[in-house]
Structure 1
Amino acid sequence: MPTESTIKLTASDGHTFQAFRADPADAPKGAIVVLPDGTGAAGKLRKVADAFAASGYVVIAPELSPPAAIDAATEGEPAKTVPDPAAPLLAEIQSTVDSVKECGKVAVVGFGAGGGLAYDAANRVSGVACAVSYYATGVVNAAGAKRKIPTLLHFGEADIVVPFAEVTMFRAYHPEVSAFSYPNAAHAFDGDGQTYDESATALAHDRTLAWISQYVVGQPPITLKNAGAYALAKTDKKKKKKADDDMGPPAD
């Protein structure tokens, strides 16, 4: 069973925020930062955390500051241009990643709005080995620059929030991104509501674990079938031929 706790983290601007953390029973293979789809996702968060922790990863999910809290924190300050409203959230994600770096390489996995943040963090947060997004909002219609780290996306083909036609166009613009789609799956197909799709959820989870295993844990070198046997056979043949030559013709 994973060990669960609530911890406090500090962002680069000095403000503190909470994060839920689950540690596996044994030494971790690495860490996964989970970005849920907005607030009120405690049930789904624990289910996701337990699944990843059971596979050997430290899981940490920050309680990101809502936009209203960010606005309130800047009230009374001199007026200034804020070119990037996502910057405070990315700073919190950066602090979250930094807090688990000692556990190994770090992946970021997001769902819905959190999936959009995970996609953004892939290019703008340091120390991330790979990113995975489920039915990410704000991605396919504003795809942005080429990805700097391996990125995996999951989309439902019956998603009315993220239309599949836009996903198809996104794939054409971003061939470097691995984007899987699931027939008949709706938005939040892995959630607890009416849109839950068991087969899509299971397949997406397996693909996510394989992706994280490849880029966080690292796979052993691939040994081709019979690798080395051919070279060994050639060497043995040469040795045998030389030995036969030394012995001369066979005796009657």
Structure 2
Amino acid sequence: MNIALTAADGHRLAAYKAGPEDATRALVIVQEIFGVNRHMRRVADSFAAEGYAVVVPALFDRTERGVELGYTGDDVTRGRALRGEINEHKTLLDILAAAGALPAGAARGIVGYCWGGTVAWHGATRSSAFQASVGWYGGGIAAAKDEAPRCPVQLHFGEVDASIPLTDVHAIEQARPEVEVFIYKGAGHGFGCEERGSYVEGDAEVAQRRTLEFFARHLGG
């Protein structure tokens, strides 16, 4: 269902919410550059089916409300433009607002994809709101690799991601040896999104299994 959140600076934003209200494990799920679209709702519902309470904040509400993009070249261009208009500090406020909407007392994690993968990294390094963080193909993580996570982190990257070179991935590994990093041979950017041409079903299933196992270790399960 759709809910409204209020960030610490007074900004009101929409969010998609799913899962049991009395869950003992909960997740903030962070969107790609395509908004809280059909794919992100599917991701949220899949975690909810595993017993997690989940909230997916609409980060683009800072600049334009109700954004749901597809995966064409024009959608990519528009999504990048929208992302570029949003301050990282404001995005952090929005994910903290989402965390506040999770069930009281639940162990809280964060997972993000594409842009959201980077935001999930910031959630781990720039806040103490989460007990575990997972990022899938977050392109901005390498630039923030010197920021120390305050909770366990797991990262997933495609070997042939055109926007995240392996040199960046290896730099992250070198800078943050405490972080679990998985590289998927032959996979590109967005390999976990079933609506993209880069989707790799087998790799997506393995990455999801690793994600669930990681959260089970750190959030209980």
* Range of TM-score over shorter length: 0.7 to 0.9
* Residues 1:48 and 2:43 aligned together: yes
How far residue 144 of structure 1 moved from its aligned partner, in angstroms, is 2.4
The residue aligned with 2:119 is 117
Contact 2:184 2:203 in 1 (8 A): yes
The residue aligned with 1:150 is 152
Change (3 A) 1:181 1:8: same
Contact 1:37 1:113 in 2 (8 A): yes
CA RMSD of aligned residues (A): 1.8
Q: Which residues in structure 2 correspond to 1:83-98 (within 5 Å)?
A: 85-98=87-100
Change (3 A) 1:128 1:94: same
Contact 2:132 2:215 in 1 (8 A): yes
Contact 1:98 1:127 in 2 (8 A): no
Q: Which residues in structure 2 correspond to 1:62-77 (within 5 Å)?
A: 62-65=57-60, 68=63
The residue aligned with 1:204 is 207
Return the letter of the residue paired with 1:12: A
> Aligned partners of 1:113 and 1:17: how far apart in 2?
18
> Aligned partners of 2:13 and 2:159: how far apart in 1?
36
Give structure 1 stretches of 5+ with no counterpart: 70-83, 219-252
The residue aligned with 1:215 is 218
Return the letter of the residue paired with 2:4: K
- Determine what percentage of the aligned residue pairs are the same residue: 32
Change (3 A) 1:111 1:175: same
> Aligned partners of 1:29 and 1:214: how far apart in 2?
13
**TM-score (norm. length: structure 1):** 0.74
Give structure 2 stretches of 5+ with no counterpart: 65-85
Match among 18, 22, 47 for residue 22 of structure 1: 18
Contact 1:94 1:126 in 2 (8 A): no
Return the letter of the residue paired with 1:29: T
> Aligned partners of 2:49 and 2:62: how far apart in 1?
33
Change (3 A) 1:123 1:92: same
Contact 1:119 1:131 in 2 (8 A): yes
> Aligned partners of 1:112 and 1:67: how far apart in 2?
18
> Aligned partners of 2:60 and 2:35: how far apart in 1?
13
> Aligned partners of 1:207 and 1:32: how far apart in 2?
16
The residue aligned with 1:6 is 2
The residue aligned with 1:33 is 28
How far residue 88 of structure 1 moved from its aligned partner, in angstroms, is 1.1
Return the letter of the residue paired with 1:11: A
The residue aligned with 2:83 is none
Change (3 A) 1:102 1:67: closer
> Aligned partners of 2:216 and 2:135: how far apart in 1?
16
Contact 1:31 1:103 in 2 (8 A): no
Q: Which has the higher contact order (CA 8 A, sep 6+)?
A: 2
How far residue 23 of structure 1 moved from its aligned partner, in angstroms, is 1.6
- Name segments (4+ residues, structure 1) moved above 2 Å: 65-69
> Aligned partners of 2:201 and 2:148: how far apart in 1?
32
Q: Which residues in structure 2 correspond to 1:131-150 (within 5 Å)?
A: 131-150=133-152
The residue aligned with 1:247 is none
**TM-score (norm. length: structure 2):** 0.84
Segment drifting more, 48-57 vs 117-126: 117-126
The residue aligned with 1:163 is 165
Larger radius of gyration: 1
Q: Name the count of aligned residue pairs.
A: 199
Change (3 A) 1:50 1:178: same
The residue aligned with 2:182 is 180
